[in-house]
Structure 1
Amino acid sequence: MSAEAEPLEAMPAYVTELFGDRTALAQRYAGHLATTGVEWGLIGPREVPRIWTRHILNCAVLAELLEAGDEVGDIGSGAGLPGLALALARPDVSFVLVEIMERRVEWLQMVVDDLGVENVRIVRARVEELVDEEMFTVVTARAVKSLSTLIEWTVPVLAPEGRILAIKGERAPEEAEKAAKLIRKRRLEGPVFHRLGSEHLDVPTTVVELRRR
């Protein structure tokens, strides 16, 4: 069977626990990732058999770290990971999906329109261009540059007491150590490391949390 023909991963039972009455929307989102997401080059065809566990759930588990009423800026949103997955899991939180590439922005808008998600805005820009235009209580990012670069980019749009929640891999402590001087310089508290979804995911999600003083 060719990579293009590989089937979408079966929906884990954990999806219902995370998405509740928005489970059907999460399923439609997974369907987009597996079809138009591959066609538009946002997801590799070999990722289709693990779209739920490796991508959607890997991001959605971060929902427990958000607070009702948060204004979240998802930096380098790409295929909506983690921003759109979180928006489906947390309808009580507002999200701005920040993405510079036009093709990705068009895809995100198509998917958001199809899903009818109302707690999402899409902004085509670099986050550095949003200073004085946007202010977020939380910034999220997944596989976007180093932690040091992410701090430099996002602190100017982070509200007082705002938080950076960066999805990182096993090298998260190493990245945090390299960013230690910058963390102090930018008056951030942390890092705090979270391992999320360990009961349901073969590879738990590692999140680095920093808070602006």
Structure 2
Amino acid sequence: MNEFEKRLRWGVDQLGLTLNDDVIERLLSYHGLLVKWNKAYNLTSVRDAMQMVDRHLIDSLSILPFLSHERLIDVGTGPGLPGMVAALVREEQSIALLDSNGKKCRFLNQVKMSLKVDNCQVVHHRLESWQPDEQYQQITSRAFATLSDMVAFSRHLLAKDGRFIAMKGLYPHDEIAQLPSDIEVVKVSPLAVPGTDGERHLVELGIKS
């Protein structure tokens, strides 16, 4: 077992998740591709491979208990965070990964092909103008935009009674205060992310009926 696998298994254990060996192997294969491609394509500002385990894999895994198994789209996904991580763990869930950056989408398509991630769709498009055939029950984002911008740019993608699920650092008091009047805060949950300094919060929003 190499150091990356030890660290990932430690993080998974700390989060209270149960992942089988095949899923761990797929996550580590994704990590390997991310490390390799990042050298040429600058997919993430995190350069250290061990830090990528903490700040990308374990951080993305921390929201799994908050996600249902319904259709999900990860907007501004970058190199697939948290969407590709979720897709690798939940092979039965339909997950779309949207980003306007061509390099990042090429990387995601390479991951999809190399690891046979058949349950995810890579969408290279600007968020506000993309029109899917079917809406999504869950829209996730990680450090993509303010809550108001996330809602404004992606609300056309949200199914009735769906949720916006945004990963944030500090409790976003100001961003919540600036939300439109028809948006309600369903829940704000502190995230305990092992190996990561600083506060993390998950903000769940809905459209008032």
Report the TM-score, using the length of structure 2 for normalisation.
Answer: 0.86
In structure 1, C-alpha distance between the alignment counterparts of 2:29 and 2:60, rounded to whole Å: 16
Instruction: Report the 3-state secondary structure (helix = DSSP H, G, I; strand = E; otherwise coil) of the residue aligned with 1:11.
Output: helix
Conservation of the 8 A alpha-carbon contact between 2:165 and 2:205: yes
After TM superposition, list the pairs within 5 Å mapping 1:42-191 onto structure 2. 42-44=43-45, 46-68=47-69, 70-131=70-131, 133-179=133-179, 182=180, 184=181, 187-191=182-186
CA root-mean-square deviation? 2.2
Shift of 1:201: 4.2
In structure 2, C-alpha distance between the alignment counterparts of 1:171 and 1:205, rounded to whole Å: 8
* Structure 2: gaps of 5 or more residues: none
Q: Which runs of 4+ in 1 moved over 6 A?
A: none
Size of the aligned set, in residue pairs, is 200
Q: Structure 2 vs 1, CA of residues 29 and 90 (structure 1 numbering), >3 Å: closer, same or farther?
A: same
The residue aligned with 1:14 is 11
Conservation of the 8 A alpha-carbon contact between 1:8 and 1:50: no
1:154-197 Cα deviation digits (max 9, x unpaired): 11110011000001110422211222xx1x2xx33314111223
The residue aligned with 2:192 is 197
Conservation of the 8 A alpha-carbon contact between 2:73 and 2:98: yes
In structure 1, C-alpha distance between the alignment counterparts of 2:41 and 2:24, rounded to whole Å: 24
The residue aligned with 2:26 is 25
Report the TM-score, using the length of structure 1 for normalisation.
Answer: 0.84
Q: Structure 2 vs 1, CA of residues 112 and 145 (structure 1 numbering), >3 Å: closer, same or farther?
A: same
Conservation of the 8 A alpha-carbon contact between 2:170 and 2:201: yes
Q: Structure 2 vs 1, CA of residues 36 and 175 (structure 1 numbering), >3 Å: closer, same or farther?
A: same
In structure 1, C-alpha distance between the alignment counterparts of 2:31 and 2:7, rounded to whole Å: 9
In structure 1, C-alpha distance between the alignment counterparts of 2:89 and 2:26, rounded to whole Å: 10
Shift of 1:24: 0.4
Instruction: Report the 3-state secondary structure (helix = DSSP H, G, I; strand = E; otherwise coil) of the residue aligned with 1:24.
Output: helix
Which letter does structure 1 place at the counterpart of 2:203?
A: V
In structure 1, C-alpha distance between the alignment counterparts of 2:190 and 2:174, rounded to whole Å: 16
Over the matched positions of the two proteins, sequence identity in percent amounts to: 25
1:131-172 Cα deviation digits (max 9, x unpaired): 363411000111112111101011111001100000111042
Is the aligned partner of 1:211 residue 2:209? Answer: no
Conservation of the 8 A alpha-carbon contact between 1:60 and 1:86: yes
Instruction: Report the 3-state secondary structure (helix = DSSP H, G, I; strand = E; otherwise coil) of the residue aligned with 1:35.
Output: helix
In structure 2, C-alpha distance between the alignment counterparts of 1:75 and 1:39, rounded to whole Å: 23
In structure 2, C-alpha distance between the alignment counterparts of 1:44 and 1:207, rounded to whole Å: 22
Shift of 1:45: 5.4
